[in-house]
Amino acid sequence: MPHEVHAVVAAKQGAPVELQTILVPDPGPGEVLVAVQACGVCHTDLHYRDGAINDEFPFLLGHEAAGVIESVGPGVTGLDPGDYVVLAWRAPCGNCRSCRRGRPWYCFDSGNATQPMTLSDGTPLAPALGIGAFAEKTLVAAGQAVKVDPNARPEAAGLIGCGVMAGYGAAVHTGAVGSGDTVAVIGCGGVGNAAIAGASIAGARRVIAVDIDDRKLDGATRFGATHTVNSRGTDPIEAVRGLTGGHGADVVIDAVGRPETYRQGFYMRDLAGTLVQVGVPEPDMRIELPLIDLFSRGGALKSSWYGDCLPSRDFPVLIDRYLSGRLDLGGFVTETIALDEVESAFDKMRDGRVLRSVVVL
């Protein structure tokens, strides 16, 4: 029997989101039904609303969530009703060529629920990143539900489901920041601050935050930035070199995802340094660099997919670090809101007034 629940739907491109009643089926084989407790408002949800991901409207938005399993489908093992979980938008299949090579964080056939959630009239919804958690309940593949310590507050815990994991993993996994490294992070929103926190925890001796907003730069110091650079009036490349003995940073993380920030990051590196792009660009963006510079500067240019994480391994670790006080997940939560306030949260996000708005149900 389908469950009638309230949810946030993007009905058409660029239109304000709507609070609607949707139908969520009972879980089938390999699926679980989750009662959502909290879900962060991420830039990716805004990209879906604006049609920058694809045109498969209507979308059921929300993907950065924590909640409690309400029921499980046939064949599900290791999860039971009442389990407290964080939802992951990648669930390694174990069988694709990447999983078989021992690289499940690159899984090319990540699992999602098979049954569709729908509008009241039966119109199928496309859940954002295969989750759709701006809803009182959502249906996901069992592999997308990762058990974590229930002592973690849901409005904080849910954030590791996307933005915090993406930024933290960009530093720790993709960038392989190590003890004594110098690190520069471009963009001090949620993902950038998570990268700063990850670099600090990994032992970087210098973490330089780069942004055009002094408020965000001030906030970055809370997560471990040792130095800040306002690139609105300062050449960030020269500033970072000046803070690293004239050489540039060992690892640069672009948490913005624009051609100009990528170019800055490329030249902000030390020779043989690493540039990690974790900020998501728009489809029509292009980058042009002299081929001789690509050759002569060496190093590595990497894209970070979801922080190159393995949710079943990494989510519990980050929650443990939060509960022990080593990772300030609560610091990412600017405000808590209701389901019907998501559209106004998008406005605050655009204006840079929030780090994260979090829907609490």
Reported pTM: 0.96
Please list the rounded mean pLDDT of every run of 10 residues in the chain (361 residues): 96 96 98 98 94 93 98 98 97 96 95 97 97 98 98 98 97 98 97 98 98 96 98 97 98 97 98 97 92 97 97 98 97 97 95 93 96
Please report, for residues 168, 201, 243, 247, the alpha-carbon distance to residue 176 in angstroms, rounded to integers and kept in the order given: 11, 12, 21, 19
135 contacts 62 by C-beta, under 8 angstroms: yes
What pLDDT is recorded for position 52? 86
Are the C-beta atoms of residues 125 and 56 closer than 8 Å to each other? no
Q: Single out the residue of 192, 158, 13, 187 nearest to residue 89, CA to CA.
A: 158
Query: How many helices (H) and strands (E) are present in the chain, helices listed first?
Result: 11, 18
- Tens digit of each residue's pLDDT (9 = 90 or more) over 95-154: 999 999 999 999 999 999 999 999 999 999 999 999 999 999 999 999 999 999 999 999
For residue 30, give both structure tokens.
């390999």
Distance CA 70, CA 354 (A): 32
Q: Is 250 helix (H, G, I), strand (E, B) or coil?
A: strand
Q: How many CB atoms lie within 10 A of CB 231?
A: 20
Tell me how far CA of residue 172 lies from CA of 41, 165, 197, 273, in angstroms: 24, 10, 10, 15
